[in-house]
């Protein structure tokens, strides 16, 4: 007898007794007061429904584009519930908060994505695992379109190579136009938790393709052969990044770790790219400890040669070995301030190389221009962050070593050169006010056997204004560059990416003032004024056979903007204008016979689209 039957029988007996005591007829017999049926058989459970394969199991829809699952649910599903093994693809009921049909132009909750939509969750962007529960794939692509119009001092040899025969001015028309297109695709496959815990392993491939064109107004600029005219068109494709990464160990419950990465990989050795900033072939040991307050790198690079016009890697080996060790400490003395100590070693072997356009780039085409070895060591201290409300970024480097036969000096040189830089800024509401200064030591005596002009290994200097004329343009001087693009150094080097470091150079003083305005969250304006002058001029006087060259380079003014129309980095438009008002020393180097060098200017527009 069940509990329900026993209770019903007791209640019925009490009702009968109460009726008899009151002199009433007993109540009608309760339907339950009947002979008990035998215990009903237990209900048979249906057989578990097992999908034949992963593809046969359909998960509920998830926000974004999750793609098919790679996890098969365990047995145990029935008509009332499903056991969902794939925790990333647990769906939600459909929901239309505003009843507008999920328009894509609004910030609308619960919108399903498409495979080509990078703005919402997407399995191709690493938001859902592509294999199992811990293996992710991040596919990204970018297209950058750069257009530059500029005036550059352009030398020409009268009568033989000028586009205007029988002229007498050594410097010709300065106009140039550059168009550059860069397309990259990245495939990043990694295994991990996709959150705080570092990846267990990673494999990445990133092919790149470049199209560039240069149009100038004088001959012997696009090529030493004047028959090649004034227009140059080039293309180049390569596998820019290719590496594998493996986590060697977890060091603490706070996700401290140590990993190794081998292959062609990006690496910037300090905060502002003063010494080394490149994507190249190497092996890197890196990690952190003490709850991520300390990070460290130990890297070795065997450089691949660069393509001359695109700056991308080639598949040719360069006789250059680079070793770098650095350590970062967060919240060093002051909360929000990070300190860094670093060591760099550069061994650039003797070599002879003509670039893709036919110009000699190794050794530098000055002086004796004989193959030589540059062996340099860099000791550095740097810092970046904020102290209270003031932002600070600084660096101090000392370069030591030996140059077996500097082309300009013509003799072996012992190297001892310094670099110091500091930037202070203050944020007030939507404006940032900046002041900064940089000193690159120069060589005051070419003939004393000591090279005291500072130079980096392969720098990409983000200092003194990203849109400044001095930084963004190569200013040529008799086969080398007074300065090279993406660098602030006055180093008389044939090429930043293909030439050797040159420690017999004039050096530089840079004094900067700037202000940035965040007009809207989408639109930012950057303004800078740099006053430039040489540290020493003896090297220049020896180089151009001219005495008493002044130190004044001039005033560099620039303004530029950054516009993100979608409030993200999927579409970025950059533009700006910059100019150099030449000072006395610069005019002495580039004056024409009959007139002084005119102010130089540059205007650019760049569009970057990313997926």
Contact 222, 212 (CB under 8 A): no
Confidence of residue 33 (pLDDT cuts 50, 70, 90): very low
pLDDT in tens, 438-453: 999 999 999 999 999 9
Strand 175-191 vs strand 600-610: parallel, antiparallel, or unpaired? unpaired
Residue 364's CATH number = 2.40.160.100
Q: How confident is the model at residue 492 (pLDDT cuts 50, 70, 90)?
A: very high
* pLDDT attached to residue 165: 65
The predicted pLDDT at position 91 comes to: 76
Q: How confident is the model over 537-579, as pLDDT tens digits?
A: 999 999 999 889 999 999 999 999 999 998 888 999 999 999 9
Report yes or no on 577 lying in a domain. yes
Asked whether 494 and 442 are in contact (CB, 8 A), the reply is no
Domain-located, residue 457: yes
Which pLDDT score, from 0 to 100, does residue 78 have?
A: 57
pLDDT at 196: 74
* Nearest alpha carbon to residue 226 among 179, 156, 178: 156
* 221 domain residue, yes or no: yes
In the prediction, which pLDDT does 73 show? Answer: 65
Q: What is the pLDDT of residue 117?
A: 83
Can you give the pLDDT at residue 6? Answer: 47
Please report which confidence band the pLDDT of residue 161 belongs to, taking 50, 70 and 90 as the band edges. low
pLDDT digits (tens, 9 = 90+) for 385-438: 999 999 999 999 999 999 999 999 999 999 999 999 999 999 999 999 999 999
Q: How many domains does the chain have?
A: 1
Is residue 29 scored above 60 in pLDDT?
no
Residue 99 lies in a domain: no
What would the mean pLDDT of 225-230 be, rounded to a whole number?
88
Q: In the numeric block, which tokens belong to residue 411?
A: 């003799």
Long-range contacts of 547-550 (CB under 8 A, 24+ apart): 549/585, 549/588, 549/589, 550/583, 550/584, 550/585, 550/588
pLDDT of residue 66: 86
- What pLDDT does residue 94 have? 73
Domain that holds residue 507: 135-610
In this predicted structure, the answer to whether residue 513 has a pLDDT above a threshold of 80 is: yes
- Domain for residue 567, yes or no? yes
Burial status of residue 582 (CB atoms within 10 A of its CB: 0-12, 13-18, 19 or more): buried
Instruction: Please name the residues in contact with 277: beta carbons below 8 A apart, sequence gap of 6 or more.
Output: 267, 268, 269, 458, 459, 460
Q: Is residue 229 part of a domain?
A: yes
Mean pLDDT of the region 51-65: 63
pLDDT for position 7: 43
| pLDDT mean across residues, the chain | 87
pLDDT at 203 over 80: yes
Cα 445 to Cα 505: distance, rounded to the nearest angstrom: 10
Domain assignment of residue 421, yes or no: yes
What is the Cα–Cα distance from 282 to 243, expressed in whole angstroms?
A: 9
Residues of the chain above pLDDT 90, percent: 66
Strands 571-582 and 600-610: antiparallel
Whether 80 has a pLDDT exceeding 70, the answer reads no
Preceding amide of 562 cis, omega within 30: no
- Angle 328-311-269 (CA atoms, 0-180°, nearest 5)? 10
pLDDT higher than threshold 90 for residue 79: no
Q: Confirm whether 143 is domain-assigned.
A: yes
Interatomic CA distance for residues 150 and 179, integer angstroms: 12
Closest CA to 578 of 463, 461, 469, 466: 469
Instruction: Give 219's pLDDT tier (boundaries 50, 70, 90).
Output: confident
Contact call for residues 498 and 362 (beta carbons, < 8 A): yes
Pair type for strands 431-440 and 450-451: unpaired
Mean pLDDT, to the nearest integer, of 287-310? 96
Give which of 399, 318, 402 is closest to 361, Cα–Cα: 318
Q: What is the DSSP string of 249-291?
A: EE-STT--EEEEEEEEEEEE-SSS-SSBEEEEEEEEEEEEETT
């Amino acid at each position: 007898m069940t509990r329900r039957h026993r209770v019903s029988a007791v209640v019925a007996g009490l009702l009968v007794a109460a009726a008899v005591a009151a002199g009433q007829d007993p109540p009608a017999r309760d339907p339950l007061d009947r002979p008990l049926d035998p215990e009903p058989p237990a209900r048979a459970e249906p057989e578990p429904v097992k999908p034949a394969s992963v593809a046969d199991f359909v998960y509920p829809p998830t926000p974004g584009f999750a793609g098919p699952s790679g996890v098969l649910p365990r047995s145990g599903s029935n008509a009332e519930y499903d056991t969902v093994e794939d925790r990333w693809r647990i769906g939600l009921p459909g929901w239309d908060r505003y009843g507008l049909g999920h328009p894509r132009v609004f910030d609308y909750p619960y919108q399903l994505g498409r495979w080509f939509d990078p703005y919402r969750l997407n399995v191709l962007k690493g938001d859902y695992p592509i294999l199992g529960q811990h293996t992710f794939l991040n596919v990204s692509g970018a297209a950058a379109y750069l257009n530059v119009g500029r005036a550059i001092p352009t030398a020409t040899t009268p009568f033989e190579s000028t586009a205007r025969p029988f002229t007498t001015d050594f410097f010709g028309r300065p106009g140039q136009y550059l168009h550059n297109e860069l397309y990259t695709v990245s495939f990043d496959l990694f295994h991990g938790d996709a959150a705080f815990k570092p990846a267990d392993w990673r494999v990445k491939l990133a092919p790149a393709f470049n199209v560039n064109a240069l149009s100038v107004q004088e001959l012997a600029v696009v090529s030493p052969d004047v028959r090649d005219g004034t227009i140059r068109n080039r293309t180049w494709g390569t596998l820019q990044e290719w590496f594998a990464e493996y986590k060697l160990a977890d060091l603490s419950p706070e996700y401290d770790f140590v990993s190794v990465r081998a292959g062609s990989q990006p690496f910037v050795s300090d905060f502002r790219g003063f010494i080394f900033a490149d994507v190249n072939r190497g092996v890197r040991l890196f990690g952190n400890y003490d709850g991520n307050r300390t990070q460290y790198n130990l890297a070795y690079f065997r450089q691949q040669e660069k393509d001359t016009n695109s700056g991308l890697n080639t598949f040719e080996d360069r006789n250059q070995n680079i070793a770098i060790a650095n350590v970062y400490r967060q919240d060093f003395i002051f909360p929000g301030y990070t300190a860094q100590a670093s060591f760099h070693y550069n061994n650039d072997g003797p070599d002879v190389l003509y670039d893709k356009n036919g110009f000699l780039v190794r050794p530098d085409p000055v002086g004796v221009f004989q193959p030589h070895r540059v062996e340099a060591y860099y000791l550095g201290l740097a810092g970046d962050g904020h102290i209270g409300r003031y932002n600070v970024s600084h660096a101090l480097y000392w370069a030591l070593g030996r140059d077996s036969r500097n082309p300009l000096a013509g003799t072996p040189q012992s190297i001892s050169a310094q670099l110091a830089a500091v930037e202070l800024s203050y944020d007030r509401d939507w404006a940032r006010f900046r002041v900064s200064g940089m000193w690159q030591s120069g060589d005051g005596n070419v003939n004393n056997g000591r090279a005291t002009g500072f130079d980096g290994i392969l720098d990409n200097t983000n200092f003194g204004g990203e849109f400044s004329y001095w930084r963004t343009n190569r200013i040529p001087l008799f086969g080398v560059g007074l300065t090279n693009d993406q660098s602030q150094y006055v180093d008389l080097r044939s090429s930043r990416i293909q030439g050797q470091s040159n420690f017999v150079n004039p050096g530089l003083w840079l004094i900067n003032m700037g202000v940035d305005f965040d007009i809207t969250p989408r639109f930012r304006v950057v303004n800078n004024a740099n006053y430039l002058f040489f540290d020493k001029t003896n090297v220049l006087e020896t180089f151009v056979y001219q005495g008493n060259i002044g130190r004044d380079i001039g005033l560099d003014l620039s303004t530029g903007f950054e516009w993100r129309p979608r409030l993200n980095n999927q579409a970025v438009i950059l533009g700006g204008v910059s100019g150099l008002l030449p000072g006395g020393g610069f005019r002495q180097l580039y004056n024409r016979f009959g007139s002084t060098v005119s102010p130089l200017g540059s205007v650019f527009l760049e569009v970057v689209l990313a997926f």
